[in-house]
Amino acid sequence: MKNRLLYFRLLLEFRPYAGQLCATLVAIAVASVTDVLLIRQLENVVNALNPNNVMSGMAASGLPHVIKEWISHIVPTAATGTAIWTIPATIMALAILRMVSSFSGDYGSAWLSNHVQANLRRKMFARILRLPNGYFDQSSTGTVLSRVTFDANQVSQAGLNVVNVVVRDSIATAGYIVLLCRIDLQLAVFCFGLLPMVALVVVLAGRRMRRISGNAQHAIGQLTHVLDESIGGQRVVKIFGGQHYEQQRFDNVVKLNRQLSVKHAATAALNSGVIMMLVGITLSAVIYFALLRAQAGALSPGAFVAFMGALMAMQSPIKNLTKVNEPLQRGLAAATSVFGMIDAPAEDDSGMRPLARASGDIVLESVGFGYGNQNVGTTPALRDVSLHIAAGETVALVGGSGSGKTTLASLLPRFYDVSSGRILLDGEDIRHYRLQDLRSQIALVGQDVVLFNDTLAANISYGDPSPDLDRVAAAARAAYAEEFILRQPHGYMTAVGENGLRLSGGQRQRIAIARALYKDAPVLILDEATSALDTESERQVQAALEQLMKGRTTVVIAHRLSTVQNADRIVVMRNGAIVETGTHDDLLARGGYYASLAQAQEKTGH
């Protein structure tokens, strides 16, 4: 997206707060005008010390007679000394106005920036919840976190700060220019000669800063990614002695961030320094000619002081305007990633058919699937898979690693969509159902249980906007979880900690089973639900699973064949295809691939 369109879209984020934005910009503009008017008072103050000089200087000026007459009534002279009080009164009034307008502008800017930042983060999080699994397969958690936290902040700050600087400093610069021309037009002309050179410097520096800012955004994502992996896997790092490797990775990313930050700062400093050098040269020339005109009587002492004061004060807004490109380019680089995430295609939810409660009859017809990152010519994850799972039937999927078991199960709730063929639920293509309705028919219990840092009751009733505590307790009892829940300090209201760290592996699994029981879905997917448990925990969890599987269509993904011997049917997969189907005894009697897997596990004791 072009810079102009990107920034315009960013400004549209402020449209809901148009009234607040206008009020803030007016306050900023008033503050800038008061700065100019305060400098203007220098002429009155100095001339008040020598009234005759100002009258003679005014007489020599080309002002209309009416204006000269009006000024003669308010300029303090020997005859009108009583007008002196108007000078400090004016300065005091301007100072009060400056304080009020400055506070209003700063407060309004902070209010607007934080509201827009919060809105951007809401939009990004709403999109994250609806992104397809393929997006997360290609993007690290650290990169996503960096976009929501760091980039959103950069965008909101740049969006308003640039406008603030342009309004505040443009008005101030324009006011000082008018004041300079009002005092002495010939001297003011010297201030305008370097504008083309200043514009050229801004353009060249802006291109470089945009490129560096884009690289810096990527580097921040890498930094967050390394931190996320190292902290999340700290036990593996320690047990395998990976501290040196992780430290080296982190040092490299920190070094890259440091280099990019220094490059960015150097470019910004050079940009500002060159411009200020040009301003300094101009200032030296102006001072020289101003002194000559003052000696010739063309400038009064007050006019000379006011001119030099305005010229010196004008440096600050000019400097700010020349540096506005720095946060602008940084914000545009961040906006590219923020709006890129907001605009990322969500999961396909084009199905219109409602589904209250399915019977659970599942049919796979010539299903093929390949992940988006697979190379051309490699074996797809699934190849021409056809399978019928009757309502209420328990089917186990077994096979070696990479055989396609988990991929097949991931297609049922449409975590991925089939590449070829179709999947039917109750005789209807699952893509025709509304996505929320489809997923409401499926419960999942996996090996890696995800628990949220909330109460036990909230984790069991997760997804229910109006949880029923009686149902929660019934689900916990059926999952053989109530016994250890009641031993907790606050029972069902006990917080489980981050990902259930206060619970054992078996307890977490039973909470996950209770959650599936609470949902009461007609289709159940069990993905290695007991493979990581000890014998005692497995016995308790297996008993809970038997309660859960009653009356439900169940797809069991298992590595240990001993856990699926009682399944109605066992489907054996290899290299993304079904190679055998039957009961445990039938498959052993055939002496095929399943029998070889069973013999291998019997030898290893797994």
Mean pLDDT lowest among 33-47, 129-143, 258-272, 557-571: 258-272
Please give the average per-residue pLDDT across 288-317, as a whole number: 77
Proportion of the chain above pLDDT 70, given as a percent: 82
**Closest among 424, 425, 379 to 521, alpha carbons compared:** 425
- In Å, how far are 12, 52, 64, 276, 280 from 180, measured between CA atoms? 37, 22, 19, 19, 17
- AA letter at 571: V
Which pLDDT does position 77 carry in this prediction? 45
Please give the average per-residue pLDDT across 318-338, as a whole number: 78
Distance CA 514, CA 502 (A): 17
Please give the average per-residue pLDDT across 517-541, as a whole number: 80
Instruction: Give the confidence band of 52 by pLDDT, cuts at 50, 70, 90.
Output: low
Angle between helices 3-12 and 325-342 (to 10 degrees): 70
Three-class secondary structure of residue 465 per DSSP: coil
Which pLDDT does position 75 carry in this prediction? 46
Please give the average per-residue pLDDT across 122-127, as a whole number: 91
**In terms of pLDDT, which residue wins out, 588 or 294?**
588
74 has a pLDDT exceeding 50: no
Instruction: Give the confidence band of 22 by pLDDT, cuts at 50, 70, 90.
Output: very high
Say which residue the tokens 């083309």 belong to: 196
Which pLDDT does position 555 carry in this prediction? 94
Domains of the chain, earliest start first = 3-342 (1.20.1560.10)
* pTM, full prediction: 0.71
Tokens encoding 534: 């000890």
Hey, how many other C-beta atoms are within 10 angstroms of the C-beta on 221? 22
Which pLDDT does position 23 carry in this prediction? 94
**In terms of pLDDT, which residue wins out, 587 or 254?**
587
Mean pLDDT lowest among 99-103, 218-222, 339-343, 449-453: 218-222
Give tens-digit pLDDT for 469-487: 999 999 999 888 898 999 9
Which pLDDT does position 152 carry in this prediction? 85
251 has a pLDDT exceeding 80: yes
Which pLDDT does position 82 carry in this prediction? 39
359 has a pLDDT exceeding 90: yes
Instruction: Give the confidence band of 491 by pLDDT, cuts at 50, 70, 90.
Output: very high
Please give the average per-residue pLDDT across 232-248, as a whole number: 72
26 has a pLDDT exceeding 90: yes
317 has a pLDDT exceeding 90: no
Instruction: Give the confidence band of 397 by pLDDT, cuts at 50, 70, 90.
Output: very high
Mean pLDDT of all residues belonging to the chain:
81
Helices of type H across 184-242 = 185-189, 195-232, 234-239
606 has a pLDDT exceeding 60: no
Please give the average per-residue pLDDT across 330-346, as a whole number: 86
Q: Write b or e for each residue in 155-176: b if 16 or more Cβ atoms lie within 10 A of its Cβ, otherwise e.
A: bbbbbbbbbbbbbbbbbbbebb
Three-class secondary structure of residue 353 per DSSP: strand
Nearest 10 degrees: Cα torsion 114, 120, 121, 123? 150
Which pLDDT does position 89 carry in this prediction? 85
374 has a pLDDT exceeding 60: no
Please give the average per-residue pLDDT across 191-204, as a whole number: 61
**In terms of pLDDT, which residue wins out, 542 or 195?**
542
Please give the average per-residue pLDDT across 115-137, as a whole number: 88
**Closest among 141, 134, 144 to 374, alpha carbons compared:** 134
Instruction: Give the confidence band of 497 by pLDDT, cuts at 50, 70, 90.
Output: confident
Instruction: Give the confidence band of 79 by pLDDT, cuts at 50, 70, 90.
Output: very low
Which pLDDT does position 80 carry in this prediction? 40
Greatest pairwise CA separation for the chain in angstroms: 125
**In terms of pLDDT, which residue wins out, 320 or 28?**
28
521 has a pLDDT exceeding 70: yes
Which pLDDT does position 295 carry in this prediction? 74
Which pLDDT does position 562 carry in this prediction? 75
